[in-house]
Chain A
Amino acid sequence: MNKSPFVSLVQACFRESLRNKAEIFFNLFFPLLFVFIFGSLHPESENYHKTWLGFYQSRGPDIETVISQSGAWEPRRYDDPEALKDAIRRGELNLGVSFDGQIARFFFKEGDLITLSKLKLVQLSLTASLEKHASRLQPMFTISRQEESAGKVMASGRDYILAGIIAIGILSVGLMSVVTMFGRYSKSGALNQLKIAPLRPMSFVMGFTFSRMILSFISLLLILGVSVLGLAASFDINWPLLFITMVSSTLGMMALGLLLLLVFRNPETANTTAGILMFIMHFLAGIFFPIAMLPGYMKAFSALLPLKYVSILVRHSLGIELIPISQFLLLSSCLALGGVSMLWLAGRKFLVSESRH
């Protein structure tokens, strides 16, 4: 029985991807590297020692109780200030306090700017607590913190980052592999071979697209698997919505890649531009740094980046941060429509017209 052109193309494109070790690595395993790095480096990783606050006390109200009651730190007693400082030097602790009843002296490692950024808050809250404890005073504002969930689960910072890495994985498969593969086919003349075949342009792009979808799905499963099983990520996965996210986002990212190929004649230039865009999107799409913390001129730019919207869809699908279903459908539709339109245009451009020189 003869295979349809679509099936033949899907098989061919997929086999080619699978046999290209570099492509397999960058699409499937490279995102896992980021999962391991950022999953482990995040302070909420298990066994990360940041939550210890070392202390030495010579006099005054009991600081250990105050530290314990803060809820944010676990106290660790040291016998003298030098032992406390040594522990900080060795990296056992990031922060320590020595209290003589009058002055709370805080120790931190020179150059540890992450701790330094939190130091003010720790100082103020701890000394305020000590003052309250010592003076038995009633503060004007009695502050309590309440964590809320924006989704179905009480997500951690690491869950947000892992969701962002999933979005990056989809971006990579969609954008980069389209640019490299399409560019490669165009340059090598393989597209010309297809041009002279009795093949409808849309059949080609659909076959090509479907093979990308399969890769995207495998990448997604791998990252999810490692996140949930290896890093105990707390996702509440809505599989149908995740599937829609994957399909629409992959289409959207492919659209971006094809746009680059249409704009830049040279596949190598398109590849470099795609790499630059990936870099910009990594940093400005709110995955590793919150958009609120960006300078004003960067915030405006981040609203234009498709990765930002892919991240929103992924977080919704994983139950981390829900959005109204109408918004979900609108975003997905926009990405999908954009993708389909570009694919149609690319099909006509690459498989119908003559030389692009």
Chain B
Amino acid sequence: MRFWRFTRGFFLAEIREFEVLFWSIVFPLLLYVFLSAVLGNDGKPRSMSFNLAVVNTNPASDETAIFNQTLDAVSGAEGPFKVTFLGSSEEALEALKTGKQDVVAVLAVGKITRSRGIPISLHSISGKESSQVAANILELVLEKTNLEIERHRNPAFQHIGMAEEAVTVSASSPKVAYKDYLFPAVALMMMLSVALLNSPLSLGFYRSVGISRKIFTTPLRPLEYFGAHLTKLLITMLIPLVLLYAMAWFIYGVRGGIFSPGFFLSLILGMVTLISIGLVIASVAGKESSVMVIGQTLYQVLMFMGGFFFPVMGLPWSLRWLVYVVPTTYLVELLRRGMGIQTMDMATIWLILVPLAWVIISMSVFSRNFSKVMGNE
């Protein structure tokens, strides 16, 4: 009873801090909303909007009419392009370089013939993603139009069929959207924030201001204090997780096994692994500032190198070794496999063993420094 009474007060004392509430609970949910909105298009241009400048000083012909019809289809209320007709290439390129236009299409003058077609040069700004994407979309649209026209007008047209196949070993291959891909990553991010930052910061803070010393003058044992700390962390992780589940299920329609026992067990493994790493930070970092430095650095590295938001297996080996070392790579893959998504060619056993190895090593380090971390000489 003593333990639960203490844990309750301990938890209340932390959750009432706005910073804890925001960064542990609110922020990951906002990130999920944001990333789903921005990257959840799956390449579809439905919500994008680009400025397209067209330079066509050729006289009207059947070919240019087809081109104009193609433009009509991709502009207006439904299309991603806002089309402006300009009088010269120089004017259009100037507008492109000054950012007024995202892509410029220049129809070659005097070179349009029935046999030759319409030479169109698409100009985009090197390296500028909005310009590149706009040019890619326009090129895609024009290529599609090409194929359609050729199919209709030429009986000798050799049609090449297209098919696609996802390479995976999972029995079911669900249609994966970015929001599904993202769900395990956001769940782990919530845990990362609590484990790598909240946990060592609160241990260090209570130690430095003397609260833990005060507690050690009471009958509460150091292990009970530690147990209360862990319980508090788990509750702080569970609350946003429940909210994430609700958001994912009801708003984003995420499915695919997120309620399966395997998925829950993977979440538990994730919590244990990340909490243990946080305890190592508390062991090695004496001051609050050191905790922030180490915690934030690890947070970013574990997040990006773990492949949370985009695949990392294409990194050069000078960095790829890090992908194999960090436990988040395995944790996020394990969770994704629980949803039927596989992105790594690795046996599932390794996805469990590597994080467990991290737990064992971390807890060994922490246990040697237990008294120092808990503030009890």
Please list the residues of chain A having a beta carbon within 8 angstroms of any beta carbon in chain B.
Answer: 20-22, 25-26, 30, 33-34, 36-37, 40-41, 43-50, 85-86, 88-91, 94, 102-121, 123-125, 127-128, 130-131, 134-135, 137-150, 154-160, 268-269, 271-272, 275-276, 279, 283, 289-296, 298-299, 320-324
Of B120, B124, B160, B163, the residue contacting A131 (CB under 8 A) is: B160
User: Are A128 and B147 interface neighbours, CB within 8 A?
Assistant: yes
B296: A residues at CB distance < 8 A: 26, 30
Chain B residues with a Cβ closer than 8 Å to the other chain, count: 101
B250 at the interface (CB under 8 A from A): no
Of A46, A86, A144, A150, the residue contacting B316 (CB under 8 A) is: A46
Q: What 4 new A-B contacts, CB under 8 Å, besides A118-B43, A155-B127, A160-B129?
A: A117-B41, A142-B119, A150-B126, A294-B37
User: Are B124 and A147 interface neighbours, CB within 8 A?
Assistant: yes
B146 at the interface (CB under 8 A from A): yes
B90 at the interface (CB under 8 A from A): no
CA distance A324 to B156 in the complex (A): 54
- Whether A144 touches B49, Cβ cut-off 8 Å, given contacts A111-B342, A160-B128, is no
B344: A residues at CB distance < 8 A: 91
Interface residue SS majority, chain A:
helix
CA distance A139 to B113 in the complex (A): 11
- Whether A110 touches B168, Cβ cut-off 8 Å, given contacts A139-B146, A292-B48, is yes
A-B contact pairs, 11 of them (CB 8 A): A20-B289, A107-B165, A110-B176, A119-B164, A124-B147, A128-B143, A141-B142, A148-B97, A149-B97, A283-B34, A298-B38
Q: Which of B204-212, B263-271, B307-315 contacts A (4 or more CB under 8 A)?
A: B307-315
- Whether A108 touches B166, Cβ cut-off 8 Å, given contacts A145-B121, A321-B99, is yes
CA distance A107 to B166 in the complex (A): 6
> Which B-chain residue is minimally distant from A130 (CB atoms)?
B160
B361 at the interface (CB under 8 A from A): no
The residue among A37, A88, A124, A143 with the most chain B CB atoms within 10 A of its own CB is: A143
The residue among B34, B145, B292, B300 with the most chain A CB atoms within 10 A of its own CB is: B34
Of B97, B156, B297, the residue contacting A150 (CB under 8 A) is: B97
A157: B residues at CB distance < 8 A: 127-129, 132
B27: A residues at CB distance < 8 A: 276, 279
B135: A residues at CB distance < 8 A: 145
> Which B-chain residue is minimally distant from A144 (CB atoms)?
B121
Please list the residues of chain B having a beta carbon within 8 angstroms of any beta carbon in chain A.
Answer: 18-19, 22-23, 27, 30, 34, 37-39, 41-43, 47-50, 63, 66-67, 93, 96-99, 102, 115-130, 132-136, 139-140, 142-147, 149-150, 154, 156-170, 173, 176, 178, 181, 289-290, 292-293, 296-297, 300-301, 304-305, 310-316, 319, 336, 341-345
- Whether A41 touches B315, Cβ cut-off 8 Å, given contacts A107-B165, A141-B145, A143-B120, is yes
User: Are B116 and A321 interface neighbours, CB within 8 A?
Assistant: no
B38: A residues at CB distance < 8 A: 283, 289, 293-295, 298
B263 → chain A closest CB, angstroms:
16
A95 → chain B closest CB, angstroms:
10
B341: A residues at CB distance < 8 A: 110-111
> Which A-chain residue is minimally distant from B122 (CB atoms)?
A145
B129: A residues at CB distance < 8 A: 157, 160, 289-290, 293
B305 → chain A closest CB, angstroms:
8
A154 → chain B closest CB, angstroms:
5
B165: A residues at CB distance < 8 A: 105-108
CA distance A160 to B300 in the complex (A): 20
A156: B residues at CB distance < 8 A: 126-127
B127: A residues at CB distance < 8 A: 44, 154-160, 320
CA distance A113 to B175 in the complex (A): 11
The residue among A48, A108, A148, A283 with the most chain B CB atoms within 10 A of its own CB is: A148
User: Are A150 and B176 interface neighbours, CB within 8 A?
Assistant: no
The residue among B142, B314, B315, B344 with the most chain A CB atoms within 10 A of its own CB is: B314
User: Are A21 and B293 interface neighbours, CB within 8 A?
Assistant: yes
User: Are A135 and B312 interface neighbours, CB within 8 A?
Assistant: no
B19: A residues at CB distance < 8 A: 268, 271-272
B99: A residues at CB distance < 8 A: 150, 321, 323
User: Are A40 and B319 interface neighbours, CB within 8 A?
Assistant: yes
A296: B residues at CB distance < 8 A: 47, 49
